[in-house]
Structure 1
Amino acid sequence: MITPRAHQGSVVLPDGRVFQYGGISSPGDILASTEIYDPATGTFTAGADANDGRMRPTTISLADGRVLVTGGRGGTDGGTIFDTVEIYDPVTGTFSDGGTVLTPRYVGIVARLDDGKILMTGGFNFTDGTLGNSEIYDPATQTSVATGSLVHPRDTYGHALKLPDGRVMIVGGYNDDGPLATVEIYDPATGLFSLTGDLPDARGDHCAVLLADGRVLVFGGFGSDWNYATQAHVWDSATGTFHAAGTLNRPRANAMGTLLADGRVLVTGGSITGGELLYEATSEIWDPATETFTEAGQMMVARSGGRAERLADGRVLFMGGWFGDGQEPTGEAELFVPASETIFADGFED
């Protein structure tokens, strides 16, 4: 990559390139720069700078292919949590003003609804603490309106997954007392959140992946006792409940979970404790047919807090993140290549 970065935002653009924005390049150095990865050439090129540098920005693709950026922390010593919106246009390669949202949010929860509007909920700010309020941002008018509040306020990686029926599922995360086991579903038709079946154990800094059949896989992170949670669970929309679905081979928090084109889930990286290394280099794959995890080889760079995006050809691009004993962001990128024929094994390459 052009610039080492961790806690950045990224999206896959309509033409298959990968847009990457913001993050932190070293302690105290919050980035406003962007770069774009081209799968055809395997290279990164610099893009336009945003007005504000943001760490852990809310970054999501709009229905027309543009990219919405809001929230995150920046300013002097990271003391500002933003309510401003910037919109990146990949056709012109420039940012434009997108107005403001109702509430500044750091590590907020975001999803694009079927009508193209953006649900923003939860998160944290210095004035209100952990947030339970929600809003709907309309890219056409560049304005936000309030909608129903979360049943349980939450921040820091409460995951939002848009279900096949257009509702949005919010899984786990943290409140002021620690990790949450509660799971909520937002219904755009009513503008309200309601509870569905709880996770068997609370989760924070975990992964939640929408499977090809509409179920939801939850794994990794920290449980209610703040120990690493290795038991995975699957939520079934037909019953609204979770069942046990395999055990991770390695404990990990802040890992990356990516749905592969064949329906399996790739699990990579994350943070670990209790050993000489801070970050996990191993990967594993969860198979929905057997609901088990199998080892899938070593990443070239052990990393946590980076980004993973599946490309149009099925490969998975990993960018940045924290690495090494010095806990510095890395500029290294690598690809996971799924087997195209049974004679080859899944694996990583530069």
Structure 2
Amino acid sequence: MSSEQVNENNGPPMLAVILFLVLKFVILAPKKQSIIVTTLSSSMGTSPSPPPTTATTTQQLGSINVGSTNQARQGHTGTLLTNGKMLVTGGGSYVALHSAELYDPSTGTWTTTGSMKHQRRGQHTAVLLTNGKVLVTGGHNTEGALNSTELYDPSKGTWTSADDMHSKRMEHTASLLTNGKVLVVGGFASGIILDSAELYDPLTGTWTTTGSMNSQRTKHTASVLTNGKVLVAGGENTNYFLNSAELYDLSTGIWITTGNMNSQRVKHTASVLTNGKVLVAGGENEEDGSPNSSSELYDPSAGNWTTTGNMDEARYDHTASILRNEKVLVTGRGTFSVFFRSAELYDPLTGTWTTTGSMNIQRTKHTASVLTNGKVLGTGEWSNVSVV
């Protein structure tokens, strides 16, 4: 198991909520759960801050403070709805939240919406279905991992209970497949790391089991490829961290192994680029729990991984967002004890990372979602006293 042992009953400490940068400086009002949206500019320029030692250029942007969420959160989910609003669900610190709220980019305001049927302190998933509803699965509260699921209807602002999953899960992944079904994979519950997978069918509202992975996995990533297959990479099993990867074929319901990553990775990010390749970045090292600065690319046509540029900062528990200019923005978390406020950009054309403006406060357990207007909405955080 990793240096941060999975605990189904204990939540992380106090948190704040923000809306942060796309690419330059974040401006935060002190002692408030301030929310900031930033806008990407097409021009290039040097950062007005003291330049980092390994990069000197950044893209220009503007920042706008757009208010505060109604409740502070970490370990929550953020889902962009078809109406352009952002749905934030659950999370919490010492108390698991069942509340949810909406951010409206047109007004820059947050409003509460219907509360979930179950408190979900974190490590749950939220998937936007093709019918416009949002499916929330699993997670944990004071009673441990959950197998309950529920649906949010944006037209009514209400939640309804859906069928329970066959297994309780937290730290799992959930992916919308090209056939409209949702694939839930792996996770952790009652001291057991899972290799099982199951499918939710929105047309029938039921769950069915499907083929199990070749390895138990939790804290892994799952990416839907352009060919419709699902790439699962890294994570950990009962004995060690993993560099292995495997593919789910929705036409057969079977998992097949594919090329191994060059590094073992846990709590990393995976982003499907516009060229069809998958960028995996960062993660935690097994030996000492330190973060990894390396990144690599998976080529679905060849079934193998190649290394690409290293990030300027080694990090895990960060976020990765694909911007309209096809670059990938990475923000937050660093080591077990030191949380970063730095951010950086990956350019698929050059295979290199460049630093960009730092956040005002170090962040982890946050979300970062690209809105329909091209801005990035970041919510939630778990601050640490160490600042980088």
Assess same fold via TM > 0.5. Answer: yes
- Worse-superposed segment, 248-257 or 299-308: 299-308
Is residue 46 of structure 1 aligned with residue 112 of structure 2? Answer: yes
1:326 to partner: Cα distance: 9.6
Q: Which one-letter code corresponds to 1:282 in the other structure?
A: S
Match of 2:355 in 1: 295
Question: What residue is the counterpart of 1:159 in the other structure?
Answer: 221
Residue number among 8, 20, 30 corresponding to 2:96 in the alignment:
30
Cross-structure match for 1:202: 264
Change in CA separation of 1:224 and 1:201 when aligned onto 2, cut-off 3 Å: farther
Distance 1:147 1:263 in 2: 34
User: Alpha-carbon deviation of 1:89?
Assistant: 0.3
Map residues 155-194 of structure 1 onto 2, 5 A cutoff: 155-156=218-219, 158-194=220-256
CA 1:261–1:79 in 2, change beyond 3 Å: closer, same or farther?
Answer: same
Counterpart contact for 2:87–2:102, Cα < 8 Å: yes
Match of 1:67 among 116, 119, 134: 134
Classify the secondary structure of the residue corresponding to 2:357: strand
Structure 2 counterparts to residues 233-248 of structure 1, below 5 A: 233-248=296-311
- Deviation readout 1:76-131 (Å, 9 max, x if unpaired): xx23321111100000000012111111111112111111111111001106x000
Q: Is the 8 A contact 1:180 1:224 kept in 2?
A: no
- Work out the CA distance in 2 between the residues paired with 1:326 and 1:268: 16
Q: Which amino acid aligns with 2:104?
A: D
Assess if the C-alpha contact under 8 Å between 2:147 and 2:168 holds in 1: yes
Residue identity in the other structure for 1:293: W
State TM-score, norm by structure 1.
0.88
Residue by residue over 1:274-317, the C-alpha shift from the partner in whole angstroms, topping out at 9 and shown as x without a partner, is 7xxx3111100000111010011111332101111000111111
Distance in 2 (CA, whole Å) between partners of 1:300 and 1:311 is: 22
Corresponding residue number in structure 2 for 1:115 = 179
Give the 5 Å matches for 1:87-126. Answer: 87-126=151-190
Distance of 2:319 and 2:161 partners within structure 1: 31
Aligned-residue Cα RMSD (Å) equals: 1.5
- 2:103 corresponds to which letter in structure 1? Y
SS in 1 for 2:372: coil
**1:34–1:48: 8 Å Cα contact kept in structure 2?**
yes
Cα pair 2:345 2:355 within 8 Å, conserved: yes
Distance in 2 separating the partners of 1:287 and 1:182: 25
1:211-265 Cα deviation digits (max 9, x unpaired): 0111000111113433321111111112111111101101111011111111110
What residue in structure 1 maps to residue 384 of structure 2? 324
List alignment gaps of at least 5 residues for structure 1. Answer: 328-350
Percent identity over paired residues: 32
The runs of 5 or more residues in structure 2 that have no matched partner are: 1-68
Q: Whole-Å Cα distance in 1 between the matches of residues 290 and 161 of structure 2?
A: 43
For residue 121 of structure 1, what is the amino acid of its counterpart?
V
Report matched runs for 1:193-342 at 5 Å. 193-225=255-287, 226-273=289-336, 278-325=338-385
Match of 1:19 among 80, 83, 87: 87
Q: How far did residue 70 of structure 1 move? A: 1.5
After TM superposition, give the deviation of residue 318 of structure 1 in Å.
Answer: 0.6
Q: Distance in 2 between matches of 1:84 and 1:204?
A: 25
3-state SS of paired residue (1:36): strand
Within 1, Cα distance between the matches of 2:88 and 2:281? 26
Deviant stretches of 4+, over 3 Å: none
Which of 202, 208, 216 pairs up with 1:139?
A: 202
What is the deviation of 1:20? 0.3
Which residue identity is paired with 2:76? Q
How far 1:201 sits from its partner (Å)?
A: 0.8
Which structure has the higher relative contact order (CA within 8 Å, separation 6+)? 2
Matched position secondary structure for 1:199: coil
Within 1, Cα distance between the matches of 2:179 and 2:129? 10
